[in-house]
Structure 1
Amino acid sequence: MIQRVEKIIGAKYSGGNILLNNGLLYFSVGKYISIYDHVNLRSEVLQTSNSTNISILSTSSCGKFLLIVDFLGSIFILNLQKKTTITKISTRERVLDAKFSTGSKFFAVVKQGKVDIWSLQLVGLSFQKVSLFKTFAIPFFHTENNRSLSWSSDDSCIVLGCEDYTCRIFELRNQAGEDKAEVLIGQKEYIIDTHMSNDMSTTYCVTRNGTLGTWQKIKGKWRMEEVKKLNSVSLASSSCFNRKNALLVVGFGSFFLLYDIHLHMQLQKIALDHLSLSSCNFSGNGEVILFGSDRNGRISLWEWKKELMIFTYEGHQQNIRTCAFSRDGSLIATGSADCNVKVWNHNSGDCVSTFSDHLMPVTAVTFTTANHIVISASLDGTVRAFDLIRHRNFRILVGDESGQYSCLAVDSSGDMICAGTCDTSKIFLWSLKSGRLLDVFVGHVAPVSGLHFNHSNSTLISGSWDKSIRFWDIYDGRKKETEVISLLSDVTCLDLNSYNSHLAVSSIDGNVSIICSRTMEIISSFDASQDINGTQEDHYDTNIHTLAYNMDGELLLACSYFHMYTFESKGYTLLRRFAAGNWIQMENLCSSTSQLIFSAKCSPVKQCWAASTSNGLYLFAEENFRKALFEVAKQSKCNNVIEMIATGSYYEAVSTALGLKLDFRVLQSILYSIPQRSVGNVIKMLSQEHLVLLLEVLQSCLAGSKHLTITLSWLHRICLTRCEVKCQIYTIWRVGI
């Protein structure tokens, strides 16, 4: 499908479990799992058939399986080596916590008022049977952030902190009573983490007020041994135990404590620049501590033995407003409302450079013909040029007066930089080499919404909210404005197809006009508002604000705030429409004015594209792009074939169906729907290639169709009109008999 996501770049961490297994960092981004190799600096996306955002992740002790839970209570178990779903369980209840057992024989699922224990029978790398083993009743459990579930070392019992400030121990094979639990009391705050020692004689609990409680099992009864205040300054936000090294890490706002539970001593106290730690965890081998902050979207990896921060993942803090591919497609630049410009490696997903020079949101980015220079425009009234080799801002371009820049364009030489403003309605032209302001184009009377250079004749094309498209000759100082095209509504965006010089222009009324940039005439237009209004999902989603042609100009990509549309560029018929909510994180949809898609760009060298969204840059794979485009075109043309038959265009219907290589059963139905009096004319007009395909279809009809008379009639007509294939017909006849 076209919604298949290849990578998610620049998405901030928004909460939930963080896992580090075999050097791979796992965390959820909406409905997907982002996998980042922090050693080799490569990223990928793992996805399942979940319909809502992922809330919980857990890995098995062997590191081969991943437990995934979404917000609707659907549970998935994935094979991490094959990246395939092994089993799916639909609970239809909100899951508050879930975790594999130590030996990977069970997994526990905490819900409101109960804990389900599921049994796993493992055969090789797959589960032969997954069944509900036991259910325990617990006090009403509703705190989503209270994930205090833990397992014993031998998988015989679970430990859970409950809402009544008690810690309960449930034995899976309790002979006295199946649902009876041992209750440990004495906490004055709710429990955020629990742990049982390897010999199962000691249980530890960490509470919200930063207290570590220790219980000892003496003569079969649990007794409080020690209560220690780890920190009295602030509340604990997260906690995690490590069984292998007998360590405890507790996060307190902007710092964490590393504590040895055997020696009863503090090992480290490290202050981080996170605003607030929301999650912490140990890696699979226990050598690295993971910290996550959902406020600033950062994940940090701390190697506690060396006391060294080995890696920090940080995406954009706010919406990604714009993106651009480099000329060779190897790099992607993004501009965000957090005032930062980031450059990413397209293949690996690694962040190459981050520039924080702008003081207000970035509205446009682009590359020059030299792939190592990025140009950005911002609402702070500056256009900046960044050098990716020296990693610095080497040029600041400003106009003759203060203004907020909304769009950018760079000519083919890479020296002429144009930027349009949204407040003064002017277009400024600079030389990148000298940094001088060369010219100011005045003519628009409303914000400039789009700029594009026509490299074939060095003409600058601009669109504005004043309902006009203007063509400027930047090299002729006497006659700057060469042509003006008036439209019926405000222009929201534009893009130029360099293969046929078609300029696609979208207006606020939903109309898309196709203008020939050579003759300056409108050659076609279509009303895209009918497609937008047909969704009926949000009244705010009323117009297309982004247009982009793909690399060969055969496809036009259009975006509204909540939907994406693909049009074929010959007749500009709609191929597909799909909702961004199917693949973008949905937390921001509480407001009717929330926006998901801000811009989209197609790669200049590959059949792939990127969408700037409210939470990251979504990249779509090349093979999926081609397959989706072909399947969508096939589905659209199948409808055209039906219309051709209804209007009597039988030859066009047969040739189109054979060219698409549809399923034999579909082709048989098409052939049988054509009147016998028209069969001869159809056969005469078919090309040699299509005739050979037709014979293959007729051969399949002889083998399995009940309409033998009609099939023989087609073969008879071929013998009478196309003598060159008589030998093939004889072969078909023998095979059919």
Structure 2
Amino acid sequence: MKFAYKFSNLLGSVYRKGNVLFTPDGNSVISPVGNRISIFDLRNNKSETLPIETQMNITCMALSPDGYTLIVVNESGEALLCSLISKSILHSYHFHRPIHQIKFSPDGKKFAVTREDKIMLFHAPGKTREFNPFVLQRTFYGAYDETVCIDWTTDSRVLCVGSKDMNTRVYGAQHFKNLVVYSMGGHRDAIVGSFFEANSLDLYSISQCGHLCVYECDTDLDGLIPYKPTRTDEQEDNKDKKLSKTDENTEGKILYKRLAKHSFKDCRPEGSSYPRVTSVDYHKSTHILVTGFLDGSFFLHEMPDFNLIHSLNISEQSIASVRFNNTGDWIALACSGLGQLLVWEWQSETYVLKQQGHFNNMTCLAYSPDGQHLVTGGDDAKVKVWNTSSGFCFVTFNEHLGGVTGVIFTQNGQVVLTSSLDGTVRAFDLNRYRNFRTFTSPRPVQFSCITVDNSGDIVCAGGLDVFEIFVWSMQTGRLLEVLAGHEGPVSSLSFSPKQSLLASGSWDKSVKLWDVFENKGAKENMIVNSDVLAVVFRPDGEEIAVSTLDAQITFWNAQNVVQTGSLEGRHDLGYSRKEIDKITAKKSSFGKAFNTICYSADGKCLLAAGQSKNVCIYSIQDQILMKKFEISCNMSFDGMEEFLDKKKMTEWGSLSLVDQGEGDEQGQSLSLPGVKKGDMSSRHWKPEVRVSCIRFSPTGRSWAATTTEGMLIYSLDQNLVFDPYDLEIEITPVNVRKKLFEKEYSTALILSFRLNESNLIQEVLESIPYSDIDVISENLPEIYVDKLLNYLASGIESSAHIQFYLKWTNKLLMCHGPKLKQRSQKIMTTLRSMQKNITRKYDDIGKLCDHNRYSMDYIIALSKSKRKHTQDADDSESESEASRSDDECVGEVLKEVGDASSEDENFMSNFMDTE
């Protein structure tokens, strides 16, 4: 159970490629992030990444109308049927070809798939009882190039398909006498989107060159005649004769007429460059069309008159996907070049969601002391702060001009310190969200690492090109000292948690210990066998772990500087081979090592990771590997396989060594430096899987790693684990409730913890009267105190009974404080988790109270002003009528504002009485 960490969330990356979707209620956005799926709950301000992975990056998704099942397709054409209820994979199906779009019918009984120049129509899974969920019903032909887009009529009987052959075709999902297939041209470029009108066969088609055609059908949906085969047709054995007989009668066939042809170029100012259309969506009930372009702009038009509503630019990169929610109020816009996801409310012109990951690789991360926040730095010179509970980034700092190499929180959690290759160390205030201090060196230096002491007064940073350590004062911002002695770049710094001891590791194969307050020279010098990559102190400050270039981790006693142990981790990293490597995976592993290491919260284990897909957890006492986590199975990354794929080997060598140009969709687009828009020299590459930084949460419940695909968070999942304690046969939920009914609250609470069901514990705990908390807390056995504190720590986060839970917490800590202090190391995780959740509740309620206080002050001031105006205007009125009470004035103001509910009036009267 100690190492039962499971994938919890993916931060730092909100979108990669593919189409975004809204849930049927319109409150959540489903976004593909590499080979994973993230769901952003816009109402509750939460984000969640499903524990589902595909073998390659996801290119398209389709959600059933009931919102229960999701079909995702990756780059190789593998489709996964996923359940959003159980969050698991139900079935897999391989199309063996890339899929551009997949879409369910409005009634949820069928779904259509674009595969090469064909349209495949399947029965929707779950609607009928069959062993194979993917049952092919029909296949439509006729296109001369790849099909790219699909749309259904509202009755799910007809679908239209756009193709790269510049034509839009209408197919009947069932046999009709007057509709077999209808093809419409009129475009000069590939079709991007085609859409039916609501309850009609009229449709719109949009091409990449920016032309929109409006087609009108002479037949309604009710005018489609189902085909009923005659008896003579049933007796015919020749298939060609059947087709000839059905084609003989051409009378009564539906006909389309092009009413108008519009161009998006007319909506742009004269002389401006005209980009290509990349994505489009149409909301049928509101008749609003949204169109995304290659330059990051998007248009909103009212159809069918093509009236321009909005013309905005949100990015400098291409908009890869746009999507309306069910009401048509919100529009989701995704940009793959910047990893950007926006939800925009077009009527009020406000952002509902605005998230963007790091443009380049994330290089470093750090937890706040309470575990509530995470800060990350990347090669894009940005520093982002994330909320671990919601999964959202709430502030981004852009002050750095070069790649960020190190981030760290001060002990109070209010300041973030960062080091960068631009030659500055910056301090950011998380209360005012500003850069309040900038530390520089006398000469330009590229800083490679950073650390701060426990008091937050001393800031140290190591140089990459001058081999020195710079020490500043946080209070004054002045440079105090320059520590010289290393003969190579300083790779890592770490302050001791207990004393003023600084450890520095360098590429000169040495680790030096400095006393920054007393001696100017190095206090101790530890020589290792290879270049030092990472140095870290144990949480108690008694031990130092050093990772070197030869894939070894050595442990040293911090007091007498004696080596106490070592780990050989070369084979634990795993073997992997890049596509362009000309040596074997076993040979290439000699150049890999642990680039980042971190102690667990209790100091008994060590996490280590590097240029590999594996994260290793070692037991320090036993010096063995306890568990290995594989962070990704995404084959779109380089360095995932041990052996090269034989299918990619030719007589001239590997196909990966051949430049396949811009048409290759296997890698990411890489633009030339300095080019922001319209780069025609982009080339493709496959990112290599690696872990750049790993950190353990102070609460001990989770750890985070910055990887190629984002920041992965692994945590202990308690909800799905049944772990009874001292269970007996007579301990049942019925007996627990019986004791509760008999008002034996202490016994019922103990029995519920022995059964260890969360719902039952909550029922018993919240049924205990408020007045009995003191007595039960004092007489509770010691072993159940720890269990109750652990439950309260998690319950405070989600419960609405804040005072009730805080009363329990306060009484337990007051009654059992001395005994808890003796075993503080065992329950440190629980106490940190409790502190994190209480702090979060305190901040949330504090903001709400501040907002209410300002609102009350405004209402009272407005009421007094109105009363004074009334007294001046009505001198002839009686004194009793002129001197109305504050309650009446406040009530009138609330009534004018529209908030004069009964609860507000009662609250206001109570407030005025207290005044």
Per the normalisation by structure 1, the TM-score is 0.79
Write the letter of the residue equivalent to 1:217: C
- Gap change, CA 1:49 and 1:600, over 3 Å in 2: closer
Question: Secondary structure of the residue that 2:573 maps to in structure 1?
Answer: helix
Q: Superposed, which structure 2 residues align to 1:277-292 within 5 Å? A: 277-292=319-334
Residue of structure 2 aligned with 1:97, choices 98, 101, 125: 101
2:538 maps to 497
Write the letter of the residue equivalent to 2:257: R
Q: What's the offset of the Cα at 1:364?
A: 0.2
Q: Superposed, which structure 2 residues align to 1:641-652 within 5 Å? A: none
Residue of structure 2 aligned with 1:481, choices 518, 522, 532: 522
Paired with 1:126 and 1:441, the residues of 2 have a C-alpha distance of: 73
Question: Secondary structure of the residue that 1:237 maps to in structure 2?
Answer: strand
Write the letter of the residue equivalent to 1:556: L
Write the letter of the residue equivalent to 1:504: A
Residue of structure 2 aligned with 1:557, choices 588, 607, 612: 607
- Gap change, CA 1:259 and 1:88, over 3 Å in 2: same
**Deviation readout 1:393-434 (Å, 9 max, x if unpaired):** 111111232211111111111111111111101011111112
2:623 maps to 572
2:288 maps to 247
1:350 maps to 392
Paired with 1:121 and 1:493, the residues of 2 have a C-alpha distance of: 51
Q: Is the 8 A contact 1:545 1:559 kept in 2?
A: yes
Paired positions, count: 622
Q: Superposed, which structure 2 residues align to 1:455-534 within 5 Å? A: 455-477=497-519, 480-499=521-540, 501-532=542-573, 534=575
Deviates more, 1:186-195 or 1:211-220: 211-220
Question: Secondary structure of the residue that 1:231 maps to in structure 2?
Answer: helix
Q: What's the offset of the Cα at 1:265?
A: 2.6
Write the letter of the residue equivalent to 1:51: Q
By percentage of residues, which structure has more helix?
A: 2
Q: Is the 8 A contact 1:106 1:119 kept in 2?
A: yes
- Gap change, CA 1:535 and 1:202, over 3 Å in 2: closer
- Gap change, CA 1:195 and 1:306, over 3 Å in 2: same
Write the letter of the residue equivalent to 2:709: N
Write the letter of the residue equivalent to 2:202: T
Q: Is the 8 A contact 2:405 2:420 kept in 1?
A: yes
Residue of structure 2 aligned with 1:336, choices 378, 397, 419: 378
Paired with 2:497 and 2:712, the residues of 1 have a C-alpha distance of: 29
1:650 maps to none
1:225 to 2:252 alignment: no
Paired with 2:140 and 2:383, the residues of 1 have a C-alpha distance of: 51
Write the letter of the residue equivalent to 1:198: A
Residue of structure 1 aligned with 2:49, choices 20, 45, 50: 45
Deviates more, 1:330-339 or 1:219-228: 219-228
Q: Superposed, which structure 2 residues align to 1:2-41 within 5 Å? A: 4-21=6-23, 22-41=26-45
1:393 to 2:427 alignment: no
2:337 maps to 295
2:279 maps to 238
2:302 maps to 260
1:188 to 2:188 alignment: yes
Deviates more, 1:306-315 or 1:396-405: 306-315
Residue of structure 1 aligned with 2:714, choices 614, 620, 623: 620
**Deviation readout 1:510-546 (Å, 9 max, x if unpaired):** 2221111122011222322233364566537611111
- Gap change, CA 1:624 and 1:55, over 3 Å in 2: farther
Q: What's the offset of the Cα at 1:156?
A: 0.9
Write the letter of the residue equivalent to 1:559: A
Q: Superposed, which structure 2 residues align to 1:82-481 within 5 Å? A: 82-120=86-124, 122=126, 130-139=134-143, 141-142=145-146, 147-175=148-176, 181-218=181-218, 220-232=254-266, 233-252=274-293, 253-477=295-519, 480-481=521-522
**Deviation readout 1:344-385 (Å, 9 max, x if unpaired):** 111111223211111101000000111111110001111111
**Deviation readout 1:688-733 (Å, 9 max, x if unpaired):** xxxxxxxxxxxxxxxxxxxxxxxxxxxxxxxxxxxxxxxxxxxxxx
Write the letter of the residue equivalent to 1:600: I
- Gap change, CA 1:564 and 1:141, over 3 Å in 2: farther
- Gap change, CA 1:547 and 1:354, over 3 Å in 2: same
Q: Is the 8 A contact 2:401 2:422 kept in 1?
A: yes
1:582 to 2:633 alignment: yes
Q: What's the offset of the Cα at 1:61?
A: 3.0
Q: What's the offset of the Cα at 1:159?
A: 0.8
Question: Secondary structure of the residue that 2:485 maps to in structure 1?
Answer: coil
Question: Secondary structure of the residue that 2:594 maps to in structure 1?
Answer: coil
Paired with 2:439 and 2:569, the residues of 1 have a C-alpha distance of: 37
Question: Secondary structure of the residue that 1:148 maps to in structure 2?
Answer: strand
Residue identity over aligned pairs, in percent, reads 28
Q: Is the 8 A contact 2:410 2:416 kept in 1?
A: yes
**Deviation readout 1:473-520 (Å, 9 max, x if unpaired):** 11113x531111111211111222234723111111222211111220
Q: Is the 8 A contact 1:365 1:376 kept in 2?
A: yes
Write the letter of the residue equivalent to 2:192: I
Paired with 1:215 and 1:626, the residues of 2 have a C-alpha distance of: 54
Question: Secondary structure of the residue that 1:133 maps to in structure 2?
Answer: strand
**Deviation readout 1:3-28 (Å, 9 max, x if unpaired):** 84211112152221112333112111
Q: Is the 8 A contact 1:78 1:84 kept in 2?
A: yes
Write the letter of the residue equivalent to 1:221: L
Residue of structure 1 aligned with 2:597, choices 541, 544, 547: 547
- Gap change, CA 1:121 and 1:405, over 3 Å in 2: closer
Write the letter of the residue equivalent to 1:33: I
Write the letter of the residue equivalent to 2:594: I
Deviates more, 1:591-600 or 1:45-54: 591-600
Structure 2: 5+ residue stretches without partners: 219-251, 267-273, 579-584, 638-665, 669-683, 722-915
User: Bigger relative contact order, structure 1 or 2, given CA contacts below 8 A and separation 6+?
Assistant: 1
**Deviation readout 1:309-345 (Å, 9 max, x if unpaired):** 3331212211110000011111111111111111111
By percentage of residues, which structure has more strand?
A: 1
Deviates more, 1:319-328 or 1:148-157: 148-157
1:669 maps to none
Write the letter of the residue equivalent to 2:20: I
**Deviation readout 1:216-268 (Å, 9 max, x if unpaired):** 22362223222222325332221111122122111233322222223443333
Paired with 1:458 and 1:126, the residues of 2 have a C-alpha distance of: 69
Residue of structure 1 aligned with 2:694, choices 584, 593, 600: 600
- Gap change, CA 1:17 and 1:471, over 3 Å in 2: same
Structure 1: 5+ residue stretches without partners: 628-737
Paired with 1:593 and 1:240, the residues of 2 have a C-alpha distance of: 31
Paired with 2:301 and 2:167, the residues of 1 have a C-alpha distance of: 23
Write the letter of the residue equivalent to 2:504: S
Deviates more, 1:331-340 or 1:303-312: 303-312
Q: Is the 8 A contact 2:288 2:303 kept in 1?
A: yes
Q: Superposed, which structure 2 residues align to 1:676-695 within 5 Å? A: none
Q: What's the offset of the Cα at 1:607?
A: 2.8
Write the letter of the residue equivalent to 1:102: P
Paired with 1:64 and 1:287, the residues of 2 have a C-alpha distance of: 23
Q: Is the 8 A contact 2:602 2:700 kept in 1?
A: no
